[in-house]
């Protein structure tokens, strides 16, 4: 069985992420969407909330599993017997960081490949930070995230302490 992992923060999941997951699910037998705990990033949603949201929007993919992990992505890939780490590429500025990470991961585990899928043009501008910024100003999120994510974002923004 060929397993791939799609690691990320997914804070929160967007239509850009979902497009990548759908395409990866056609290429591998089993796909693990792996939510990184990485507290340095100071996420808006807790790890449990991010996992829950991902599960709720991925129910119609029988070969996609959602999980979370601590530590190095490559170690989690090895633990889960994944043969590939799949990342999405949007803009040129993604490339430098992704290239560095892919080379580092190759050094750490030479049998785990990193595969990049190019974003679809209509999703190339979407990222979780922009989504959160738009939500904080009450803007429309309809074309950026699924309705359940929009709802959770609105709730979260309402309950954030005023600065
Ligand atoms: P990270 O903090 O690991 O970059 P993200 O949640 O921002 O986590 O992204 C997870 C993965 O999804 C990354 O590979 C990123 O490039 C990809 N991704 C994010 N937004 C998009 C998008 N709009 N189109 C395609 N891929 C995307």
Is 35 a domain residue? Answer: yes
- 55-75 average pLDDT score: 97
User: Measuring from atom 24 of ligand 1, which residue has the nearest CA?
Assistant: 16
Query: Half-sphere exposure of 63 toward its Cβ, with a 13 Å CA cutoff?
Result: 17
Active site (annotated) includes residue 143: no
Closest C-alpha to ligand 1, atom 23: 16
pLDDT tens-digit map of 93-132: 888 999 999 999 999 999 999 999 999 999 999 999 999 9
Output the pTM of the full model.
0.94
pLDDT (mean) for 73-81: 97
Q: Residue 109 is part of a domain; what is its CATH number? A: 3.40.50.620
CA torsion through residues 38, 43, 47, 51, sign: negative
- Considering the domain boundaries, does residue 15 fall inside one? yes
Query: Does residue 63 form part of some domain?
Result: yes
Is residue 161 one of the residues assigned to a domain?
no
- Looking at the chain, the number of H-run helices and the number of E-run strands are 6, 5
* Number of domain units in the chain: 1
* Residue-wise burial string across 56-71, b where 16 or more C-beta atoms lie within 10 A, e elsewhere: ebbeebeebbbebbee
In a domain? residue 118? yes
Mean pLDDT of 16-30: 97
120 lines ligand 1 (CB under 6 A): no
Instruction: Show the beta-strand stretches assigned E in 28-130.
Output: 30-36, 64-69, 84-89, 113-118
Q: Compute the mean pLDDT over every residue in the chain, rounded to the nearest whole number.
A: 94
């Amino acid at each position: 069985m060929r397993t791939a992992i799609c690691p990320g923060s997914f804070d929160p999941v967007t239509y850009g992420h979902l497009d990548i997951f759908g395409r990866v699910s056609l290429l591998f037998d089993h796909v693990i969407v792996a939510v990184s705990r990485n507290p340095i990033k100071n996420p808006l949603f807790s790890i449990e909330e991010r996992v829950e949201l991902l599960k709720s929007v991925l129910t119609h993919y029988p070969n996609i599993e959602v999980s979370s992990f601590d530590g190095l992505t490559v170690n989690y890939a090895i633990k889960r017997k994944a043969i590939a780490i799949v990342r999405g590429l949007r803009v040129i500025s993604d490339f430098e960081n992704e290239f560095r990470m892919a080379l580092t991961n190759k050094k750490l585990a030479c049998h785990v490949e990193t595969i990049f899928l190019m974003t679809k043009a209509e999703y190339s501008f979407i990222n979780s930070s922009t989504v959160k910024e738009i939500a904080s100003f009450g803007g429309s999120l309809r074309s950026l995230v699924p309705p359940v994510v929009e709802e959770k974002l609105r709730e979260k923004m309402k309950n954030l302490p005023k600065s």
